[in-house]
């Protein structure tokens, strides 16, 4: 059984993620990321931000695209079900603190770490029409590290393509804590903190610490740190200090986050490749009805079904991937049966997919409506979220500056 204290500390676990504002979000974003974000907002303290600086790392020549898309993307988020009362929605470029942390981290980050991030070479190859031999593009995973570390996020929900960035973030945190995590007057501070919990508790704490450091007894650690973490006499910094003292490590100024892998693209694009704006094979979350119908009706199917009488195989057909998301088991059986026996035609087969997409879209359109009508509301949500984020970001920067000897 978990104690109340433990449940409370789990409830406080923090999630952070961001998205680039490069165009209307499509169903791939919804099924691949947003649905997960919506679920997480009920379970953890979630921070979601518009990564407009990140968009500039590849689209530095197209400021109009970014500008137009920032608030449209937030409407897509709200349409998907993000609730500004349950999560914090904000805009990266309003928080120069991110840039400050990025700069400070950059001082001690080896260039090789960035050159070795797999997305670096991959993207340069894929986006050949853009000149990506820029300093900003090389450095952007470190900017991402700053985005994450500044909120001391425990979890970062991203797709597989971003996992290496979270790994870099962990390395950056470790390096920072190693270089700057030791308070200069650590021993005196520990002594003062122990005085707060009183003689008897200090005695027990010191005894467990000795046991732990000599034998590695984790029970001793759990007991002692459990006590420290639930002591109302201490603030967070003091708890952390005692925990560092107990373990014989530096203070963890920055928290190493964990990646929360979202299964990769459950929903492919209309042509079976990854759904992506640049391939032009997507359906926007708020696309109009006629266009959805048209796109699905003209979707390619199993090439073996040239004529209506040719049998097909759903496994060779992108429409089937849509059925897997949008159709009931019964419908799926009907598809398998009808396709392999040429009992149904492809247009017929596509109908439930169209209906499924339209049905899924209804609540999204309804949620988006007030914001489309009154864009001021969106700005207010972003303003309020940015204020909340700023409080956290500033507190971290205060600690970071302190750790680096910059709080003159």
Query: Which residues of this chain interact with ligand SF4, rule CB under 6 A?
Result: 301-302, 305, 312, 314, 317, 319-320, 335, 339, 344, 346, 349-350
- How near is the Cβ of 9 to ligand TRP at its closest, in Å? 22
Answer with the entry of ligand SF4, ligand TRP, none that 144 interacts with (C-beta below 5 to 8 A by kind).
ligand TRP
Strands (E), 6-61: 14-19, 45-50
* Contact string (CB under 6 A) for ligand TRP, positions 261-280, x = contact: --------------------
Burial readout 231-264 (b: 16 or more C-beta within 10 A, e: otherwise): beebeeebbbbbbbbbeeebbbbbbbbebbebee
73 is a contact residue toward ligand TRP (CB under 6 A): no
| Secondary structure (3-state) at 312 | coil
- How near is the Cβ of 126 to ligand TRP at its closest, in Å? 13
- How near is the Cβ of 301 to ligand SF4 at its closest, in Å? 4
Answer with the entry of ligand TRP, ligand SF4, none that 18 interacts with (C-beta below 5 to 8 A by kind).
ligand TRP
Answer with the entry of ligand SF4, ligand TRP, none that 54 interacts with (C-beta below 5 to 8 A by kind).
ligand TRP
Task: Evaluate the CA torsion angle 49, 55, 57, 58 in order and state its sign.
Answer: positive
- How near is the Cβ of 24 to ligand SF4 at its closest, in Å? 26
Which residues, other chains included, contact 38 with Cβ-Cβ below 8 Å and sequence gap of 6+? 80, 81, 82
Of 241 and 305, nearer to ligand SF4 (C-beta) is: 305
Answer with the entry of ligand SF4, ligand TRP, none that 14 interacts with (C-beta below 5 to 8 A by kind).
none
Q: What is the DSSP letter of 9?
A: H
CA neighbor of 202 nearest in space, from 231, 240, 236: 231
Integer angstrom CA distances of residue 320 from 287, 292, 301, 333: 21, 17, 9, 11
Query: Residue 286, CB half-sphere, CA atoms under 13 Å: how many?
Result: 21
Residues 1-20 that bind ligand TRP (CB under 6 A): 16-20
Of 54 and 209, nearer to ligand TRP (C-beta) is: 54
Answer with the entry of ligand TRP, ligand SF4, none that 301 interacts with (C-beta below 5 to 8 A by kind).
ligand SF4
CB neighbours (10 Å) of residue 87? 21
* Contact string (CB under 6 A) for ligand TRP, positions 135-174, x = contact: ---------x--xx-------x-x---x------------
Answer with the entry of ligand TRP, ligand SF4, none that 162 interacts with (C-beta below 5 to 8 A by kind).
ligand TRP
Answer with the entry of ligand SF4, ligand TRP, none that 156 interacts with (C-beta below 5 to 8 A by kind).
ligand TRP
- How near is the Cβ of 42 to ligand TRP at its closest, in Å? 19
CA neighbor of 46 nearest in space, from 85, 79, 72, 80: 85
Q: Are 59 and 66 in contact (CB under 8 A)?
A: yes
- The radius of gyration computed from the CA coordinates of the chain, to the nearest angstrom, equals 26
Answer with the entry of ligand TRP, ligand SF4, none that 403 interacts with (C-beta below 5 to 8 A by kind).
none
54 is a contact residue toward ligand TRP (CB under 6 A): yes
- How near is the Cβ of 300 to ligand SF4 at its closest, in Å? 9
CA neighbor of 301 nearest in space, from 348, 359, 360: 348
Of 147 and 399, nearer to ligand TRP (C-beta) is: 147
Answer with the entry of ligand TRP, ligand SF4, none that 344 interacts with (C-beta below 5 to 8 A by kind).
ligand SF4
Residues that bind ligand TRP (CB under 6 A): 16-20, 51, 54, 144, 147-148, 156, 158, 162
């Amino acid at each position: 059984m978990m104690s109340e204290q433990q449940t409370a500390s789990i409830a406080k676990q923090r999630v952070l993620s961001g998205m680039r504002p490069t165009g209307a979000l499509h169903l791939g974003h919804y099924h691949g990321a947003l649905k997960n974000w919506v679920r997480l907002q009920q379970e953890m303290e979630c921070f979601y931000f518009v990564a407009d600086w990140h968009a500039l790392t590849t689209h530095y020549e197209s400021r109009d695209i970014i500008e137009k898309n920032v608030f449209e993307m937030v409407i897509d988020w709200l349409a998907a079900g993000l609730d500004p009362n349950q999560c914090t929605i904000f805009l990266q470029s309003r928080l120069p603190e991110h840039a400050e942390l990025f700069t400070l981290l950059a001082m001690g980050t080896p260039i090789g770490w960035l050159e070795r991030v797999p997305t670096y070479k991959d993207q340069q190859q894929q986006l050949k029409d853009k000149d990506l031999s820029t300093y900003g593009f090389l450095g952007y995973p470190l900017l991402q590290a700053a985005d994450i570390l500044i909120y001391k996020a425990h979890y970062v929900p991203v797709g597989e393509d971003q996992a290496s960035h979270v790994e870099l973030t962990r390395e950056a945190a470790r390096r920072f804590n190693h270089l700057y995590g030791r308070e200069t007057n650590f021993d005196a501070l520990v002594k003062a903190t122990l005085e707060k919990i009183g003689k008897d508790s200090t005695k027990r704490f010191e005894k467990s610490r000795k046991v732990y450091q000599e034998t590695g007894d984790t029970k001793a650690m759990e007991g002692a740190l459990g006590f420290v973490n639930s002591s109302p006499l201490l603030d967070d910094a003091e708890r952390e200090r005692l925990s560092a003292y107990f373990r014989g490590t530096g203070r963890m100024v920055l928290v190493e986050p964990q990646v929360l892998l979202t299964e990769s693209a459950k929903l492919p694009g209309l042509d079976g490749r990854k759904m992506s704006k640049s391939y032009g094979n997507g359906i926007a979350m708020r696309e109009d009805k006629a266009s959805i119908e048209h796109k699905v009706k003209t979707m390619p199917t199993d090439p073996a079904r040239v004529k209506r009488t040719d049998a097909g195989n759903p496994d060779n057909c992108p429409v089937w991937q849509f059925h897997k998301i949008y159709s009931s088991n019964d419908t799926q059986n009907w598809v398998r049966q009808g396709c392999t026996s040429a009992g149904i035609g492809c247009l017929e087969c596509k109908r439930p997919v169209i209906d499924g997409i339209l049905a899924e879209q209804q609540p999204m359109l309804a949620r988006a409506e007030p914001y489309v009508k009154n864009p001021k509301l969106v700005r207010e949500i972003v303003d309020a979220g940015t204020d909340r984020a700023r409080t956290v970001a500033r507190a971290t920067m205060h600690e970071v500056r302190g750790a680096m000897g910059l709080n003159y």
